[in-house]
């Protein structure tokens, strides 16, 4: 594959930002929003709660008035785990919220205990019954909250507690906060609305509560996971591509691994160029919270490793069940053995096209990447997973020279 491609805005940054618009009765405009199924689901949720939402050429205008429903419907929440992001904003602004336990990808349990701990620490009562979380608090009071769980800091809980604390009384310090760029982006957006948040991007985030928030405009950061996915596609096709609209500082360890595989990487402030002339070399990764290797790129990176020269080890420390794509890759001729949370990848010279099935969002991208390098035709089913997190991925790959198409009537 050869040429230039532009990454979309970050899904993982956009979703909490959209939920944060519930914190104010003023109008918010979120620009260059990626048109993804998860974003559509969040828009549907905001509308179901009573917010006015209009979409015009990737720009969303959101006005969440004072007459909102305080219950997130099961029919919507069951489709997307990120629906729980409305819990903190609704509780903070209306002192009450009811959100059904979320759905999402089948990649293992992702407990919400830290979300509950955070709300309770702020003074809310929390009940879990009949499949939903009900929270209530006449007033939220600032405090120190330790949010580190058994798997490290929680991105979702950090975002939820940070949003709730913006309208609390006093000062809240989140200790062992998530460091992800998406958390920084959310904090920066909230600050443009009048919040007082310091330390985002560090392990301690300080939030001084304010009486109310204003409206504002914001453009979410580029999607570092999409950038990494496109780079993996370039590697398996021994391509030379430039990915625009990206922030290389968000991909530090990922870029280091690409270089370790033998790729030539050059960077500007807003783009990276990947030149992969030869068969890639083996490399090993261990997924970890930012700034470590992101779990959301593990599957795609594995697809790049299956035809690399040598033996690679992929250790998944975040979601223990996130290896379902390995079984499908083996059907294409890959040699992957799973031992607990470690995948041992013995590189093969080539893959063979096959009919494969996506189990989750990132697995779907991994199978597409594998299909780009496989001999013969690969058919990936259940691509509705792909549409949850990638905006027109097949079109972007086509423009780089890939032979890929979406077949009508198949998903």
Report, as residue numbers or ranges, the catalytic residues.
105
Report d(CA 411, CA 402) in Å as an integer.
Answer: 20
Element (H, E) at 71: strand 71-72
CB within 8 Å of 239: residues ≥ 6 apart? 1, 2, 233, 274, 276, 400, 401
Q: Strands, DSSP E only, in 139-239?
A: 144-146, 148-149, 152-153, 171-175, 196-198, 204-208, 216-218
Report d(CA 306, CA 371) in Å as an integer.
Answer: 12
Q: Classify residue 409 as exposed, middle or buried by CB count within 10 Å of its CB (0-12, 13-18, 19+).
A: exposed
Determine contact, residues 43/18, Cβ cutoff 8 Å: yes
- Looking at 316-401, list the stretches that DSSP marks H as alpha helix, in order from N- to C-terminal side: 324-331, 361-373, 384-389, 393-399
DSSP β-bridge partners for residue 368:
none
Determine contact, residues 244/266, Cβ cutoff 8 Å: no
Report d(CA 195, CA 217) in Å as an integer.
Answer: 14
Q: Strand, helix or coil at 398?
A: helix
- The DSSP secondary-structure symbol of 118 reads H
Residue 377 CB neighbours (<10 A): 11
Report d(CA 283, CA 170) in Å as an integer.
Answer: 48
One DSSP character per residue, 263-280 reads -EEEE-SSEEEEE--SPP
Report d(CA 365, CA 405) in Å as an integer.
Answer: 14
Task: Kindly state the tokens that stand for 339.
Answer: 């031992």
Report d(CA 185, CA 191) in Å as an integer.
Answer: 10
CB within 8 Å of 51: residues ≥ 6 apart? 21, 22, 62, 63, 64, 65, 68
Q: Strand, helix or coil at 198?
A: strand
């Amino acid at each position: 594959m050869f040429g230039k491609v532009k990454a979309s805005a970050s899904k993982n940054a956009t979703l909490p930002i959209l939920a944060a618009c519930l914190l104010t009765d003023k109008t918010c405009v979120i620009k260059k929003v990626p048109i993804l199924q998860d974003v559509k689901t969040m828009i549907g949720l905001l509308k179901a709660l009573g917010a006015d939402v209009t979409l015009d050429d990737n720009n969303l205008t959101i006005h969440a008035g004072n007459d909102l429903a305080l219950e997130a419907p099961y029919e919507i929440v069951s489709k997307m785990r990120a629906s729980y992001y409305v819990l903190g904003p609704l509780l903070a602004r209306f002192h009450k919220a009811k959100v059904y336990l979320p759905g999402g990808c089948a990649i293992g349990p992702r407990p919400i205990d830290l979300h509950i701990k955070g709300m309770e620490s702020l003074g809310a009562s929390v009940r879990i019954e009949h499949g939903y979380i009900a929270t209530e608090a006449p007033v939220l009071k600032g405090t120190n909250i330790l949010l580190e769980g058994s798997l490290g800091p929680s991105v979702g809980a950090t975002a939820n507690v940070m949003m709730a604390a913006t309208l609390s009384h006093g000062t809240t310090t989140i200790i062992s906060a998530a460091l992800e760029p998406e958390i920084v982006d959310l904090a920066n957006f909230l600050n443009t609305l009048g919040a007082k948040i310091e330390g985002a991007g560090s392990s301690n985030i300080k939030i001084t509560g304010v009486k109310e928030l204003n409206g504002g405009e914001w453009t979410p950061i580029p999607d570092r996971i999409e950038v990494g996915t496109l780079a993996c596609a370039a590697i398996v096709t021994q391509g030379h591509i430039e990915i625009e609209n990206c922030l290389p500082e968000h991909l530090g360890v990922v870029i280091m691994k690409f270089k370790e595989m033998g790729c030539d990487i050059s960077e500007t402030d807003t783009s990276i160029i990947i030149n992969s002339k030869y068969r890639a070399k083996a490399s090993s990764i261990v997924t970890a919270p930012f700034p470590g290797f992101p779990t959301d790129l593990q599957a795609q990176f594995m697809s790049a490793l299956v035809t690399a020269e040598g033996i690679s080890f992929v250790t998944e420390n975040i979601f223990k069940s996130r290896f379902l794509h390995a079984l499908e890759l083996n059907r294409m001729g890959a040699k992957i053995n799973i031992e607990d949370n470690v995948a041992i990848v013995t590189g093969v010279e080539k893959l063979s096209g096959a009919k494969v099935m996506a189990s989750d969002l990132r697995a779907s991208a991994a199978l597409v990447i594998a299909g780009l390098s496989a001999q013969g035709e690969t058919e990936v089913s259940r691509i509705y997973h792909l549409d949850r997190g990638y905006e027109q991925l097949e079109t972007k790959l086509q423009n780089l020279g890939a032979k890929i198409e979406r077949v009508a009537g198949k998903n």
